[in-house]
Amino acid sequence: MGTIFVIAEHRQGELRDITFEMLFKANTLCKDLSHKLTAVVLGGDEALADEIKKWADTILLFEHERLKNFDGDLYKEVISGLIEEYEPFITLMGHTSWGMDFAPALAIKTGYPLATDCVDIQVEDGRPSVIRQIYSGKIFTKVSFRESKSYLITVRPGSFTPEEIGEQEGEIIKKELPSDLPEPSKEFIGFEEAGAGELDITQADLLVSIGRGVGEAENIEVVRELADLMGGVLSCSRPIVDKNWLPKYHQVGTSGKSVKPKVYLAFGISGAFQHVAGISGAGTVIAVNKDPKAPIFRVADYGVVDDLFNVVDALKEKLK
Amino acid sequence: MNVVVCVKRVPMTQEVDLEIDASKKDVSKDMLAYVLNEWDNYAVEEAIQIVEKFGGAVTAVTVGSEDDEEVLRRCLAMGAEKAIRVDPGDLSLDGFVISKILAEVIKGLEYDLVLTGVQADDDNYGIVGSMLAEHLGIARAAVVNHVDIEGDEANIKVELEGGVDEVLKIRFPALLSIQTGINEPRYVSIMGIRKAAKKELQVLPVTDLGLSEDDLSARTVVEEVFLPPETEGAEIIEGDAATVAEEILRIMKEKGVSV
Ligand SMILES: Cc1cc2nc3c(=O)[nH]c(=O)nc-3n(C[C@H](O)[C@H](O)[C@H](O)COP(=O)(O)OP(=O)(O)OC[C@H]3O[C@@H](n4cnc5c(N)ncnc54)[C@H](O)[C@@H]3O)c2cc1C
Ligand SMILES: Nc1ncnc2c1ncn2[C@@H]1O[C@H](COP(=O)(O)O)[C@@H](O)[C@H]1O
């Protein structure tokens, strides 16, 4: 019987959602394949490991001062050791900032193949393959691996929705770090809240949101007027903030804010996963985009295929 | 301070009705316009700002075909000193092979810093930077949105999910994968690109690098590409703009937003 590894991700004492999403998917894979699920917790403590007991057969827990904060070098070192020892069939990691740091390096160190940012995983004839999205979600692909003893996969956050599973009581095994650890190449200084500001878009009932489709900085005022007329709040996708057209606290998405308005109006936003991850709490999403194939239409409730300025002008006309 | 920056030319796919090509392994690219990958544009700007401040030179490297030289010329126009293109011939490329080729070229250069983009806008792998750092055996950080250099180390910010940055100190040599918004990439004129034509653009066939067959064999294979499954998706509101506006206002009211 083989095993599937899930590398837990946690920050400041809390497990991240991606951890449970991976545990859920790994559980279904383990059932199909009669494999055991092994969760790996680097840093954290027993209380943290307890939280995932019901998802895993075994939890390998490493408690160590140097693992209090994420350290990609140590993750690479320790996990490659574990992969040699346990020979997992698949190792799942999050496609997060931290996963993007250590997973590719781990693939080189172990020599095992890696596919990143996967939204689904299948196993056929003993070989895994994954589904991914390319061209910002406009096209899907099926990717297979060169034959190997062990396979590495990073999972896109939000791809799996954890559902309750049968009760089980995983065994927590405390592990010691190897004694010959590499010198740290980075020093952790602290966490910093990015882009706090006077406006809190998470509290708004109506968000009027703009993306790169507005074209020019000047055009923002055209949409802002609409937001004012509607009594809504202006928000945006990342490129608008990257260009300094609006301050960071307007940004919706994985690296901005998760919002929960009753209505989210998206003007000229393509619908990259990092953006739509921030609007899963919205009541109703109405998207306006020139491109009928824009991925935003796959997550919106209502769609309008048109130039956003036509719709903005018509809305203003009605409201005046 | 010598900086190497890895760049890729990618097709623009917004507002385009993409079609699957005959091989079913990619989209048809004949009609697509190409640009420098957005993340790489920020990486090149960051590299140039660093040498403007601390001296040294920027070298831009791409693994690609002759057409891809267009983005190298753009890097030269932005202020890179030198550009290198490795021609992969008809090798099938994945992140592993690309990182292996880049590592072999960069090993022969003098550098303190290597910059890549966080991800390429076509394949969205986010894999090459960290693999490259491991081949080179240097420190690395992914998704960097701030760099502040002091001597042979830098204070950097790594962008995490949920609007939080992680502040770190990293020692050189190091590889940073650069996030959009870190700076304001400079404008490049056609004239600028013409002037930069005098700068050195070196072309290396991959066969000159002495990599083994195993080094050049892909670890992952695209089996097929397909259009997204037709899930339920949005209900499309039809009609002229006035009708659409009326319908949007009606829906908003129904959902409890009074305007
Ligand atoms: C680590 C990481 C974190 C990220 N975090 C975030 C995040 O928090 N939030 C976020 O938004 N992104 C984030 N991104 C970026 C994300 O991947 C996309 O690049 C971004 O969301 C694209 O923004 P956009 O939809 O505005 O632009 P584009 O993708 O360029 O889309 C513009 C859209 O406008 C349409 N359009 C153009 N003109 C018009 C017109 N006149 N009328 C109507 N429609 C028009 C086009 O058809 C297109 O669909 C992140 C990326 C990474 C790698
Ligand atoms: N063919 C290539 N040549 C040079 N650099 C590349 C190439 N492909 C990817 N990169 C670099 O690696 C980064 C991440 O790309 P990817 O891992 O493909 O998403 C890009 O932003 C580039 O900096």
Q: Tens digit of pLDDT for each residue in A119-147?
A: 999 999 999 999 999 999 999 999 999 99
pLDDT band for position A180 (50/70/90)? confident
pLDDT band for position B258 (50/70/90)? confident
Task: Please indicate whether, in this complex, the C-beta atoms of B161 and A190 are within 8 angstroms of each other.
Answer: no
For residue A195, tell me if it sits in a domain: no
Give burial (CB, 10 Å; 0-12/13-18/19+) of A315. Answer: buried
- Whether the pLDDT of residue A1 is over 90: the answer is no
Are A274 and A226 in the same domain?
Answer: yes
* B55 Cβ contact partners less than 8 Å away, ≥ 6 residues apart: B1
Domain that holds residue A219: 201-319
- The mean pLDDT of A218-245, rounded to a whole number, is 97
Percent of chain B exceeding pLDDT 90 equals 97
Measure the CA angle with vertex B194, ends B189 and B200; round to 5°: 120
Structure tokens at A299: 């997550």
Residue B120: helix, strand or coil by DSSP?
coil
Are A157 and A206 in the same domain?
Answer: no
CA B176 to chain CA mean position, Å? 12
Are A139 and A27 in the same domain?
Answer: yes
In this structure, which ligand is nearest to the CA of A279? 1
pLDDT for res B67 = 97
Residue B58: helix, strand or coil by DSSP?
strand
Terminal Cα distance for chain A, rounded = 69
Compute the distance between CA of residue B100 and CA of residue A53 in angstroms, rounded to an integer.
40
Closest atom of ligand 2 to CA, residue B120: 19
Give the tens place of pLDDT for each residue, B54-102: 999 999 999 999 999 999 999 999 999 999 999 999 999 999 999 999 9
CB B157 within 8 A of CB B133: no
Compute the distance between CA of residue A159 and CA of residue A261 in angstroms, rounded to an integer.
22
- The mean pLDDT of B233-238, rounded to a whole number, is 95
pLDDT for res A320 = 87
Phi, psi angles (nearest 5°) of residue A58? -140, 140
Residues 180-209 (A) with a CB less than 8 A from some CB of B:
185-195, 205-206
Q: Which amino acid residue places its CA nearest to atom 18 of ligand 1? A: A272
Mean pLDDT of chain B: 96
**Beta-ladder partners of B203:** B85
pLDDT band for position A168 (50/70/90)? confident
B95 touches chain A (CB under 8 A): yes
Compute the distance between CA of residue B186 and CA of residue B7 in angstroms, rounded to an integer.
16
Q: Which value does ipTM take for this structure? A: 0.97
- Whether the pLDDT of residue A196 is over 80: the answer is no
Task: Please indicate whether, in this complex, the C-beta atoms of B234 and A256 are within 8 angstroms of each other.
Answer: no
Q: Which amino acid is at B221?
A: V
A244 touches chain B (CB under 8 A): yes
Domains and CATH numbers, chain B: 3-209 (3.40.50.620)
Instruction: Name the residue of chain B whose CA is nearest to A278's CA.
Output: B162
Task: Please indicate whether, in this complex, the C-beta atoms of B13 and A194 are within 8 angstroms of each other.
Answer: no
- Strands, sheet with A36-42, edge to edge from the N-terminal-most edge strand: A171-175, A58-62, A36-42, A3-7, A90-94, A151-155, A114-124, A127-134, A139-145, B220-226
pLDDT for res A90 = 98
For residue A280, tell me if it sits in a domain: yes
CA torsion angle A196 A198 A204 A207 (round to 10): -80
Compute the distance between CA of residue A17 and CA of residue B158 in angstroms, rounded to an integer.
20
- Which of B10, B12, B15 to probe ligand 1 with, by most ligand atoms within 8 A of CB? B15
- Whether the pLDDT of residue B231 is over 80: the answer is no
For ligand 1, the distance from its centroid to the CA atom of residue A157, given in whole angstroms, is: 18
pLDDT band for position B156 (50/70/90)? very high
pLDDT for res A21 = 97
Are A243 and A134 in the same domain?
Answer: no
Q: Which of the listed residues A174, A191, A216 is the one where a domain comes to its end? A: A174
